[in-house]
Amino acid sequence: MNFLATLAIALKALRVNKLRSALTMLGIIIGVAAVIVMIAVGSGARAQVEAQIKSLGANLMMVFSASSTHTGARAAVGTTYSISEDDAYAIGRELSDVIAGAAPSLRGNGQIVFGNNNWSTTFYGVTPEYFDVREWSLAEGRFFEPAELNGAAKVAIIGRTVATSLFGDESPIDQVVRIRTVPLTIVGVLASKGQSPGGNDLDDVVLLPITTARNRVLGATALAKSRSVGSIQIKVREGVNSQVAEERVRELLRQRHRLQAGQDDDFTLRNLTEILQAREDSSRVMALLLAAVASVSLLVGGIGIMNIMLVSVTERTREIGLRRAVGATGGDILRQFLIEAITLSLIGGLVGVLLGMGGAKLIGALAGWPIQLSATATLLSVSFAAAIGIFFGYYPARQAARMSPIEALRHE
Amino acid sequence: MSAPLIRIAGLAKEYRLGETLVPALQGVSLEIARGSFVAVMGPSGSGKSTFMNLLGCLDLPSAGQYWLDGEEVSRLPDDALSVLRNRKIGFVFQHFNLLPRTSALDNVSLPLLYRGMTAAERHTNAVQRLRQVGLAERMDHHPSQLSGGQQQRVAIARALVGNPALVLADEPTGALDSRTGIEIMALLQQLNREGITVVLVTHEHDIAAYADRIIHFRDGRVVDDLTNSRRDAGADLAALPAATSA
């Protein structure tokens, strides 16, 4: 007996008991839909964290000048200057086995003015390493040239938000803006990065050569003398354990700052990647947990199928006997009931996929969560549903196939 | 008719009932010629049902041999028996055993499904058999829309659709009123005249009278094997006062 004929019998049997078939499928439908929704929400959350890591630059670590504790009251991190440009170069040079780059930066706030427009923003004095460490690329224009760094040239590279605020749709390249009365020629515009994990607009930024920032814009002579910087951003080499790198950097800085054992660090080290990695891990665990819970409902749906198939086999004992009498082999009967169970679970699975996709989109729209539908998860849950059909359908089908035709025919 | 359709030698069957072995059939030997019409009679527990199950290849004997259409079938594996039933034997049951919510046509073509025939071939054959039993008009009816006699005709069409050598009828008139019963017997006689061997189980002497050989079972043995000059069911039917036909 061919497969299509068996399938036709199975479909017919399911059609005859429409309500029962629908209720049996419901378990699988809910299970599959739940799995799909959970995976969509879970992987959406993870994708968001991943995007954030990317926006920061991969494997990023930051060193801040520590708060001073001289007067007993701690000042905020980064407001005093205990680390210097030379610390950054030392890190880059001496720890090149674990560090891919170290970029010193000086930070300041101020109005940036162009014609009648102005915009309040944060500016950073940076070296060329900064672009690599933070993984900035340019939308237009160029990076700083060495001569501009050495000569404290009055040039700037601006972020997308600043560009839009001041220039609208026009190109800012070669336009002259002012920060704290210093005229700066814009030589480049950064490619957009979006939001930071903390919700800050990463594109709301102006980058200056570090020399320009220190000597011309911030203008603090004390700073100029010590070549102090507010922070050093460090990119850890690919494949290097970030904790190992962190320890090496700490060790080097303590040595350079001549700190005795037992003395507190005069700098603060933050391993951003690690923090985000932890968040990603926890969201992955959450997604797995949710998917596991959803799979339980799939399992329950499978048991529902087995239950109904057992009832169906008992109910149709005479039919089985008759089919055996007119020439069905035990295998024919087994296949008939197995295909019936698989059809139930597959149709349930497909309906569940559609429902799950719709549900995920709806949740995404209502709750404002990022949703990521995955083809793998879809395929996996449908095959899982089919597998459940086979697994839970096999026992009832075997019961049917093993019936003695005589007993089955005599069944009332 | 050279070789007999059925040859049975020392056929025995025991059932295990708890600790004890219950002999249901104790060494039956007989032959049934092609084209004959045999009635099997006997009280409950006489072994006639066991005999019929063995004839129908629904069960295997504990001992003895069974040749059906020249082939020794008493030791065949289950799948081979299924194929044998499908090709050589047509069953007619007391309670029709039609699939509910399934058209007469689909019921009749059921055995062909297990032969791997195409849908078109199945349809052609089933239509032809339904015509033969006089139900050409009701092919799309479900069993619940048919009278008992009509249902039994559908069942007979189903038994015939595979061109079997043997039709086994287990009390085919048992669930029908006497007039309809005679109609069914007339149909079976007609099919028999067309060459099909019929073996029939019945309690009723009136029904057995339409066969040309009557075998009596008692305690698992054949106690009587008589030749009978068959009554013509068609003539009996004509003699009956006209009634609303089934």
pLDDT digits 0-9 by tens, B145-157: 999 999 999 999 9
Q: Is the pLDDT reported for residue B205 higher than 90?
A: yes
pLDDT score for A222: 58
- Name the nearest CA neighbour of A197 among A130, A137, A275, A271: A275
Greater pLDDT, A297 or B223? B223
In B, what residues contact A, Cβ < 8 A?
53, 56, 58-59, 78-79, 82-83, 85-87, 91, 93, 97, 99, 101-102, 110-111, 113-116, 158, 162
Q: Residue A158 in 3-state DSSP?
A: strand
Q: How far apart are CA B67 and CA A146, in angstroms?
A: 105
* Interface touch B99/A319, C-beta < 8 Å: yes
> Would you place residue B246 in the very low, low, confident or very high pLDDT band (cuts 50, 70, 90)?
very low
- Name the nearest CA neighbour of A25 among A399, A400, A388: A388
Average pLDDT over residues B70-76: 91
Q: How far apart are CA B246 and CA B243, in angstroms?
A: 9
Angle, alpha carbons A60-A62-A64 (nearest 5°): 175
Residues of chain B by 3-state class (helix, strand, coil), percent to 5: 35, 25, 35
pLDDT score for A333: 93
* Interface touch A327/B56, C-beta < 8 Å: no
Greater pLDDT, B241 or B104? B104
Q: Convert the pLDDT of each residue in B86-121 to its tens digit.
A: 999 999 999 999 998 899 999 999 999 998 888 899
State how far residue B225 is from chain A, nearest Cα, in angstroms.
26
Tokens for A358, please give them. 């719709």
> Would you place residue B41 in the very low, low, confident or very high pLDDT band (cuts 50, 70, 90)?
very high
A80: how many CB neighbours lie within 10 A of its CB? Answer: 17
φ/ψ of B39, rounded to 5, equals: -105, 135
Q: How far apart are CA A341 and CA A181, in angstroms?
A: 79
Asked whether the CA dihedral A200, A206, A209, A213 is positive or negative, the reply is negative
* Interface touch A327/B101, C-beta < 8 Å: no
Q: How far apart are CA A306 and CA A381, in angstroms?
A: 19
pLDDT score for A70: 47
Average pLDDT over residues B82-89: 94
> Would you place residue B183 in the very low, low, confident or very high pLDDT band (cuts 50, 70, 90)?
very high
- Indicate the average pLDDT of chain B: 92
B213-218 β-sheet, strand order: B89-92, B166-170, B197-201, B37-41, B213-218, B221-227
Asked whether the CA dihedral A139, A141, A142, A143 is positive or negative, the reply is negative
Answer whether B96's CB lies under 8 Å from B156's CB. Answer: no
Residue type, B187: L
Tokens for B77, please give them. 């594996």
pLDDT score for B69: 92
Q: How far apart are CA A188 and CA A203, in angstroms?
A: 13
A334: how many CB neighbours lie within 10 A of its CB? Answer: 20
B99 DSSP 8-state letter: P
Answer whether A300's CB lies under 8 Å from A62's CB. Answer: no
Q: How far apart are CA A191 and CA A136, in angstroms?
A: 7
State how far residue B240 is from chain A, nearest Cα, in angstroms.
34
**Residues of B whose CB is below 8 A from A412:** none
pLDDT tens, residue order, chain A (412 aa): 678 888 888 888 888 888 989 998 998 999 889 888 888 888 888 887 777 776 666 678 888 886 555 445 555 554 567 788 888 889 988 888 888 889 998 888 888 998 888 889 989 999 988 888 888 889 889 999 888 888 889 999 999 999 988 888 888 999 999 998 899 999 999 998 877 766 778 889 999 999 888 888 887 655 666 778 888 989 888 888 878 888 899 999 888 888 888 888 888 888 877 777 777 788 778 878 887 888 888 888 888 889 999 999 999 999 999 999 999 999 999 999 999 999 989 999 999 999 999 999 999 899 888 888 888 888 888 888 889 889 999 999 999 999 999 989 988 7
pLDDT score for A223: 61
pLDDT score for A354: 94
The H helix count followed by the E strand count for chain A is 14, 12
Q: Is the pLDDT reported for residue B1 higher than 50?
A: no
Tokens for A365, please give them. 């729209």
